Amino acid sequence: MALLEVRDLRVVFQRRGTEPFSAVDGVSFDVNPGQTVGLVGESGCGKSVTSLAIMGLLPARGNKVTGSVKFEGTDLLTLSNREMRDRRGRDLGMVFQDPLSSLNPVIPIGLQVTEVLERHRDMPRKKAMVEAAELLDKVGIPDPTRRLSEYPHQLSGGMRQRALIAIALACRPRLLIADEPTTALDVTIQAQILALLKELVQDTGTALIMITHDLGVVAGLCDEVNVLYGGRVVERAERHQLFAEPRHPYTHGLLASIPRLDAARGEKLVPIKGSVADNIPWDSACAFAPRCPNALDVCRQVTPALEDEDRRSLRCHNPVLPGTPAAQEVPA
Amino acid sequence: MTAAVEPAAADAPVGGSLVSVQDLKVHFPIKRGLIVDRTVGHVFAVDGVDMEIRRGETYGLVGESGCGKSTLGRGMLRLVEPTGGKVVFDGTDLVELKGESLRRMRRRIQMVFQDPMSSLDPRQSVESILVEGLRAHGLDKGREATGKRLRELLSAVGLPSTSLRKYPHEFSGGQRQRIGIARALAVEPDLIIADEPVSALDVSVQAQVVNLLEELQEQFGLTYLVIAHDLAVVRHISDRVGVMYLGGIVEEASSDDLYAEPLHPYTKALLSAIPVPDPEVEDRRERILLTGDLPSPANPPNGCRFHTRCPWKQETKCATDRPALREVRPGHKVACHWAEDIQAGRIRPHEVETVLVEEGGISPDVPLIGPSSVTEVLNP
């Protein structure tokens, strides 16, 4: 049994007087202990809402979450708020994108780390402080004892993100969700944080869900990659397979549209035409059809199903054949 | 190899120098005190930059946040006042210009900003946004001619002509950036300074804007200064690239040379840190992980600015002498005392002790004299 089994997860946002909007539209995936699973997609594809739904952090009103999120056999969606509070921080850890806004600005770093230890591991404050210093040291913060009494604004962006990771890992969670953990950071700091995450996952056997828009980050870190578009998984594969042979036109298009450091210069980029605003609902069509260079008539009439084939799942009527160069399209 | 050393790319029409930046400095004072403004230090945002942009080329400026790359771009346009140095644009020193002559000169240098939403007035229609520049520079020659010009502009950036009546909020991020580019093009500039033109956009849309910039350059013979933190984008779009670190350029070379053979330790680390969307490459590659953070530009390290984080730091020179940008190969400049030795493998990288970086930015060397608040004045 997988550590986390997400089945047919749906999040519908609804306000009175407006059409309901499906941000996450039937997402299913598994995470095994020690595995790193990537959720990749552009803004608005539902990757962050998926993570918030798993953590039970969506606002109480205005949305409807259905499906199931089984963590070691228990459905997290059925737990009460109190039960969920016991799990968050102990079994499930989370690292957010913007470290400054997810740390409390008026509380010293040390207290923010020890809070988790006191709450979940019933440690007395003094002992927790010693442990907190060890944690900060482990995530590579120099002079950790001094840093305990400092406030978030006194740390640099990279150090704040390290502190957040220390908090998330304080109770050795079995699952860590990292939502764009390096997007707000510079590349050299990003490399440090990614190396740190990789090392921690290997050392502690923590399962990691990595949410990002950066295919480069995924390529170096994740075992399995889920590509999301319009709230649904459109392609899932092991990372070598996905990058070597992208089959969904969206994955294929994404890879062709990013300039690569190691590619020959002077080649023109092949963008995907249009933007996410051109999506059509999944109800009776493929949401990507208006932007897709491979679109057929059937794509606008029948919703494609996620089909498994040879260790890969694909949601497409007319997938890209292996070895096809990117389609040349005039951008709309 | 010999062909690659030629600084000018063969396919781009590259002429003589269009802009020459000489020892440009932009220092921001740090003020303290409520009643008397006392300057207690300076942020050395740009500290002695020499740079030359040739006509028709794309010059890419890369560096991490806080290295001064945006300030350099703004300083060249005098959107911030330079503290010293010269910006010679087509024979005229922009730093000397005042009033009307500066305003006229600005027609020839336009800027494209990072965030298209906040750089377009939400209450101005696209037509009004585009016409404003034309009017200001006397290029509005009658209703018909202007209408034709606007339609030309929109078709050049790939927007439908129905866009004229719309407002910025009616467009997607990529389209807004196209409006920003059309605004810059409207006054027929020679040089466009693009400050992070694609970093606010989604990956699939980035490529559209990058391609658009390239097409416009061919069509109108523009010169670009592209400022960005994404090295992959800069490499793709630029003919020559300058790498900035803490207010100074540490390496400058043609795009191909820089990526094929980076000479400065910082450039090496920066290039190795960029993730490549290919697992095969990612598994094989060796990373140079820098320790610690960028030092505060208010209190930059003595000597080489990079020596506090440099894995190749030597006992002599590095901590005491600031290296000058020198040409080690034709068209390839580097500001490192030991570039040749590092490249030849005579110096091996070593462990670096992480140095704490103090946030707040006031140099501890500058003593605080006098009251720093009202209460202090009232209760001495």
- Residues A168-209 pLDDT 10s: 988 889 999 999 888 878 888 888 889 888 888 888 889 999
Q: Taking CA atoms, what residue in B is nearest to A219?
A: B279
Task: Report the residue from A189, A243, A268 with minimal CB separation from B211.
Answer: A268
Residue A329: the pLDDT is 44
Interfacial B residues in 45-104 facing A (CB < 8 Å): 64-65
State the Cα–Cα distance between residues A116 and A123, nearest whole angstrom. Answer: 9
Is B214 an interface residue toward A (CB < 8 Å)? yes
Q: Which residues of B touch A155 (CB under 8 A)?
A: 359
Which of A43, A214, A275, A279 is the mutation pick for testing B, counting most B CBs within 10 A? A275
> Listing from the earlier edge strand, what are the strands of the sheet with B109-112?
B109-112, B191-195, B223-228, B58-62, B240-245, B248-254, B332-334, B326-329
Residue B298: the pLDDT is 85
Is B162 an interface residue toward A (CB < 8 Å)? no
Q: Rounded to a whole number, what is the distance in Å from the CA of A316 to chain B's nearest CA?
A: 19
Q: Compute the Cα dihedral for A133, A138, A139, A141 and give only its sign.
A: positive
Task: Report the residue from A42, A157, A257 with minimal CB separation from B207.
Answer: A257
Phi-psi region of B373 (alpha: psi -120 to 50; beta: other; left: phi over 0): beta
State the Cα–Cα distance between residues A193 and A198, nearest whole angstrom. Answer: 9
Residue B193: the pLDDT is 95
Q: Which residues of B touch A215 (CB under 8 A)?
A: 203, 277
Task: Report the residue from A140, A254, A265 with minimal CB separation from B203.
Answer: A254
Q: Which residues of A touch B70 (CB under 8 A)?
A: none
Q: Which residue bears the tokens 């869900």? A: A209
Q: Which of A8, A5, A146 is nearest to A65 (CA)?
A: A8
**CB atoms A219 and B287 under 8 Å:** no
Residue A138: the pLDDT is 84
Task: Report the residue from B173, B203, B211 with minimal CB separation from A331.
Answer: B211
Residue B354: the pLDDT is 65
Q: Which residues of A touch B262 (CB under 8 A)?
A: none
Is B2 an interface residue toward A (CB < 8 Å)? no
Residue B278: the pLDDT is 86
Q: Which of B186, B232, B183, B238 is nearest to B206 (CA)?
A: B232
Q: Which residues of A touch B287 (CB under 8 A)?
A: 191, 195
Task: Report the residue from A159, A219, A269 with minimal CB separation from B278.
Answer: A219
**CB atoms A158 and B233 under 8 Å:** no
**CB atoms B273 and A190 under 8 Å:** yes
Which of B65, B163, B170, B204 is the mutation pick for testing A, counting most A CBs within 10 A? B204
Q: Which residue bears the tokens 């969700």? A: A177
**CB atoms B207 and A240 under 8 Å:** no
Task: Report the residue from A188, A259, A276 with minimal CB separation from B290.
Answer: A188
**CB atoms A277 and B172 under 8 Å:** yes
CA-derived radius of gyration, chain B? 23
Task: Report the residue from A143, A219, A271 with minimal CB separation from B276.
Answer: A219
**Tokens encoding B286:** 């060796």
Is B160 an interface residue toward A (CB < 8 Å)? no
Is B219 an interface residue toward A (CB < 8 Å)? no
Is B3 an interface residue toward A (CB < 8 Å)? no
Task: Report the residue from A155, A186, A269 with minimal CB separation from B359.
Answer: A155
State the Cα–Cα distance between residues A217 and B278, nearest whole angstrom. Answer: 10
Residue type, B116: P
**CB atoms A270 and B207 under 8 Å:** yes
pLDDT band (50, 70, 90) for residue A111: very high
Residues A233-289 have pLDDT tens digits of 999 999 999 998 899 999 998 888 888 887 777 677 888 888 777 788 888 899 999
Give the CA count within 13 Å in the CB-facing half-sphere of B76: 29
Task: Report the residue from B65, B211, B281 with minimal CB separation from A271.
Answer: B211
Q: Which residues of B touch A156 (CB under 8 A)?
A: 293-294, 357, 359
**CB atoms B276 and A214 under 8 Å:** no
Q: Which residues of A touch B272 (CB under 8 A)?
A: 191
State the Cα–Cα distance between residues A229 and A241, nearest whole angstrom. Answer: 19
**CB atoms B11 and A255 under 8 Å:** no
pLDDT band (50, 70, 90) for residue A110: very high
Q: Taking CA atoms, what residue in A is nearest to B63?
A: A186
DSSP-based three-state secondary structure for B236: helix
Taking 70 as the pLDDT cut, the residues of chain B under it are 1-15, 353-380
DSSP-based three-state secondary structure for B34: coil
Q: Which residues of A touch B246 (CB under 8 A)?
A: none
DSSP-based three-state secondary structure for A188: helix
Is B273 an interface residue toward A (CB < 8 Å)? yes
Task: Report the residue from B229, B236, B273 with minimal CB separation from A191.
Answer: B273
Count CB atoms within 10 A of the CB of residue A310: 7
Task: Report the residue from B11, B172, B293 with minimal CB separation from A189.
Answer: B293
Task: Report the residue from A217, A265, A268 with minimal CB separation from B255.
Answer: A265
User: Is the pTM here over 0.80, yes or no?
Assistant: yes
Q: Choose between A1 and A8: higher pLDDT.
A: A8
**CB atoms A42 and B204 under 8 Å:** yes
DSSP H or E segment with residue B85: strand B84-89
Q: Which residues of A touch B271 (CB under 8 A)?
A: 261
Residue A325: the pLDDT is 67
Q: Taking CA atoms, what residue in B is nearest to A185?
A: B65
**CB atoms A255 and B294 under 8 Å:** no
Residue B128: the pLDDT is 92
Q: Compute the Cα dihedral for A314, A311, A219, A322 and give only its sign.
A: negative
Which of A136, A153, A188 is the mutation pick for testing B, counting most B CBs within 10 A? A188
Give rounded-to-5 percent helix, strand, coil for chain B: 35, 20, 45
Is B156 an interface residue toward A (CB < 8 Å)? no
Mean pLDDT value across chain A? 88
Is the pLDDT score of A152 beyond 70?
Answer: yes
Q: Which residue bears the tokens 């482990």? A: A138
Residue B41: the pLDDT is 86
Q: Which residues of B touch A140 (CB under 8 A)?
A: 354
Give rounded-to-5 percent helix, strand, coil for chain A: 35, 20, 40
Phi and psi of B289, rounded to 5°? -85, 120
